[in-house]
Amino acid sequence: MARTIPASRWSEKRDFVELATNWRVDGMNILWNYVWQGWDSYQSDVLDKVDLSEANQQLERLITQDIELNIREVMSRYEPFVIQQERYEEENMHPIRPKQTDLSFVWYQHRTSKFAIEAKVLYSDTKSGVKEYVEEINENFLKFRYAPLSSEGGMLGYLLKGDCAKAFSNIEKAISCQLNHHPDFQEREHKTSDHQRIVPPDKSYPVKFRCHHLVLQLTKNSDLNHDEKIASDGPKNIDVKN
């Protein structure tokens, strides 16, 4: 039977979330803290210094590309996982071009175990504004095109114009699933939804799937005013050496 190199080297299927929790009980919170810290530094290093009414080309690709660098910068290098942009999903390989998620945390010693994060620009907080975001969940995460081996995954919504609460409300309506505040990120725009996936008969993928939703405002105000500093609850220093 033909296999990819990663599937041959790491044939045992392991859930990234299980590996992270076995490493540290707060392993997944550490991961999300890095995402939020990376976002904070990207805002201050880049977004606060540009006018998005002019610098508005290729937003999704270029923001995600830079956020990867900011997340790498805040990581301690002691984690058993690394972050990588657009890593292929080799579990369901397409003969021409396999699926890729925008960001993946990859378990270094078991590289088929990945935590997938997809990003979408929300040009508004309306029903139509969140449509492509919702499609990524329904058509890719819930159909095992993304994160087939993981019980969790994440979405980053880069909100260009509008209100986070309204964007969340329209996402919730569109996926027909309740969004709940993440208990450890109450001061952040970070929610989760829980889903049941229909597993193909010949697979042993996780049935239960939790999707994390982060709505990230590209500007402080909906009129693209950069005069005010974007508020945050600040990065948290995490010791992962032990």
**Is residue 170 scored above 70 in pLDDT?**
yes
Q: Which two tokens stand for residue 227?
A: 């005069």
Question: Rounded CA gap, 38 and 59, in Å?
Answer: 17
Residues 230 and 47: beta-carbon distance below 8 Å: yes
Where do the structural domains in the chain lie, given as residue ranges? 5-217
**Is residue 90 scored above 70 in pLDDT?**
yes
Question: Rounded CA gap, 109 and 12, in Å?
Answer: 12
pLDDT at 153: 97
Q: Smallest Cα–Cα separation from 218: which of 157, 171, 173, 166?
A: 157
Residue 89: pLDDT band with limits 50, 70, 90? confident
Instruction: Quote the mean pLDDT of the chain.
Output: 87
**Is residue 73 scored above 90 in pLDDT?**
yes
Instruction: Give the distance, in angstroms, between the CA of residue 8 and the centroid of all CA atoms in the same chain.
Output: 27
* Stronger pLDDT, 100 or 26, i.e. the higher one: 26
Encode burial over 97-110: b for 16+ CB neighbours within 10 A, e otherwise. eebebbbbbbbeeb
